[in-house]
């Protein structure tokens, strides 16, 4: 192929992980080979407006976006065109061959944007609607894992309204079913946004209202005392592969947003210093988890491992994992023999492979005979 592939890199978004998305996008844009790819940057504001033009990422990081032009894609099957919105008119800008969504959290990683891409019929990197939605919703994700007999810690699910209408009843339910410490999380968010580790009732009250800021559904999970935090990167469609496991040693009590992105006190141990049989079991479970949600393209599967017994528990899955220079997903693949730039190439290949498979599906019933 002599023609360049036009790649639309989408970042930002209406999410508490907006800033993390910008960091990931910077790394991906820096590693997409300009000899192979024609890059189109599409930034999505915190209000949900799509913008494109010159130096979009820099504009988003500085907050100077006035020179950018609103853009959109239409949900017309087969029309993978990015349109400019100008003076009340819709004008075609460029056709996208493939989309690389780098949107973490709501309205990007949860299946909503993937649904639009499916309507259009454009190739895109990463999981489809189903895997994105299940992977994003921590409560539903655990329900699927439990049905597949995969190892998880006990949990409870509440809604924002339940907390607001009778917080005491919610607290009693938690204290009667789980033991401190517990973790409270928004069901649909990542990067440790809105997560609270609770050691007593006071923490519990604070954590419930903190999580309710970010989602209408709240998950409360049984905690472990100082577990080892292990992560595995998964890559592939029908025949996924697992990277070597890595270990996160948080600089704080657990791997908070601050520990991930704002401080340099956390350490990454690659490979994770674990017995070989434990590493292999973690890789096996990571692949089973990926298949359980019908993963595609990529995901990072996170684990908690008991320090004494080496008992393994699945924590969560990230279908659009962080791609910053310090993120575990690319680092684990690099340590497994796949450098960053080649990893991005492979993800784009997998996007085209997945689209070709979707295109084989018939959407019109044809009666035989």
Rounded distance, CA 133 to CA 146, Å? 17
10 within domain boundaries? yes
Distance CA 294, CA 82 (A): 29
Q: List the one residue out of 64, 88, 34 whose CA is nearest residue 43.
A: 64
Burial 30-55 (b: 16+ CB within 10 A, else e): ebbeeeebebbbbbbbeeebbbbbee
Closest CA to 40 of 24, 28, 56, 23: 56
* 367 occurs within a structural domain: no
Domain that holds residue 278: 228-358
Rounded to whole angstroms, the Cα distance separating 291 from 297 reads: 12
Kindly report the number of other CB atoms within 10 A of residue 104's CB atom: 29
Query: Tens place of pLDDT for every residue, the chain, 369 residues?
Result: 458 999 999 999 998 889 999 999 999 999 999 999 999 999 999 999 999 999 999 999 999 999 999 999 999 999 999 999 888 889 999 999 999 999 998 899 999 999 999 999 999 999 999 999 999 999 999 999 999 999 999 999 999 999 999 999 999 999 999 999 999 999 886 546 789 999 999 999 999 999 999 889 999 999 998 899 999 999 999 999 999 999 999 865 554 544 444 446 778 999 999 999 999 999 999 999 999 999 999 999 999 999 999 999 999 999 999 998 779 999 999 999 999 999 999 999 999 999 999 999 988 877 776
Residues β-bridged to residue 40: 8
Torsion angle of C-alpha atoms 199, 200, 202, 206, degrees rounded to 10: 40
Regarding whether 339 and 241 lie in a shared domain, the answer is yes
Question: What is this structure's pTM?
Answer: 0.90
CATH of the domain at 249: 3.30.470.20
Structure tokens belonging to residue 287: 């692949």
25 and 86 part of one domain? yes
**Same-domain check for residues 206 and 319:** no
Report yes or no on 333 lying in a domain.
yes
Q: Distance between CA 199 and CA 25 in Å, rounded?
A: 36
Domain contains 136: no
**CATH number (domain holding residue 199):** 3.30.1490.20
- Per-position DSSP letters for 14-61, written without gaps between them: SSTTHHHHHHHHHHHHHHS-TTTEEEEEEEE-TT--EEESSSHHHHHH
In a domain, residue 365? The reply is: no
């Amino acid at each position: 192929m002599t023609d360049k592939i036009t790649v639309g890199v989408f970042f930002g978004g209406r999410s508490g992980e907006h800033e993390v998305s910008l960091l990931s996008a910077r790394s991906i844009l820096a590693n997409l080979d300009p000899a192979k790819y024609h890059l189109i940057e599409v930034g999505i504001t915190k209000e949900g407006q799509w913008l494109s033009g010159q130096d979009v990422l820099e504009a988003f990081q500085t907050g100077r976006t006035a020179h950018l032009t609103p853009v959109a894609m239409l949900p017309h099957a087969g029309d993978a065109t990015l349109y400019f919105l100008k003076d009340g008119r819709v004008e075609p800008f460029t056709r996208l061959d493939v989309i690389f969504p780098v949107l973490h959290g709501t309205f990007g990683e949860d299946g909503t944007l993937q649904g639009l891409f499916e309507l259009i019929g454009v190739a895109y990197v990463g999981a489809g609607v189903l895997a994105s939605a299940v992977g994003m919703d921590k409560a539903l994700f655990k329900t699927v894992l439990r049905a597949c007999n995969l190892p998880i810690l006990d949990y409870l699910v509440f809604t924002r309204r339940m907390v607001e209408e009778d917080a005491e009843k919610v607290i009693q339910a938690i204290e009667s079913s789980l033991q401190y410490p517990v973790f409270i999380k928004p069901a649909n968010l990542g990067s440790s946004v809105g997560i609270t580790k609770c050691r007593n009732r006071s923490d519990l009250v604070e954590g419930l209202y903190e999580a309710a800021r970010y989602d209408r559904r709240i998950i409360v999970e049984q905690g472990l005392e100082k577990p080892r935090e292990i992560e595995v990167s998964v890559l592939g469609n029908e025949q996924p592969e697992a990277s070597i496991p890595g270990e996160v040693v948080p600089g704080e009590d657990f791997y908070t947003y601050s520990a991930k992105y704002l401080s340099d006190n956390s350490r990454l141990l690659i490979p994770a210093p674990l017995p070989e049989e434990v590493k292999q079991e973690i890789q096996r479970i990571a692949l089973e988890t990926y298949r359980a949600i019908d993963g595609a393209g990529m995901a990072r599967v996170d684990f908690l491992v008991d320090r004494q017994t080496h008992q393994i528990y699945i924590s969560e899955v990230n279908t659009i994992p962080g791609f910053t220079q310090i993120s575990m997903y690319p680092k684990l693949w690099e340590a497994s023999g796949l450098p960053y730039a080649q990893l991005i190439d492979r993800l784009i290949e997998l996007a085209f492979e997945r689209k070709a498979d979707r295109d084989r599906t018939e959407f019109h019933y044809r009666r035989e005979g």
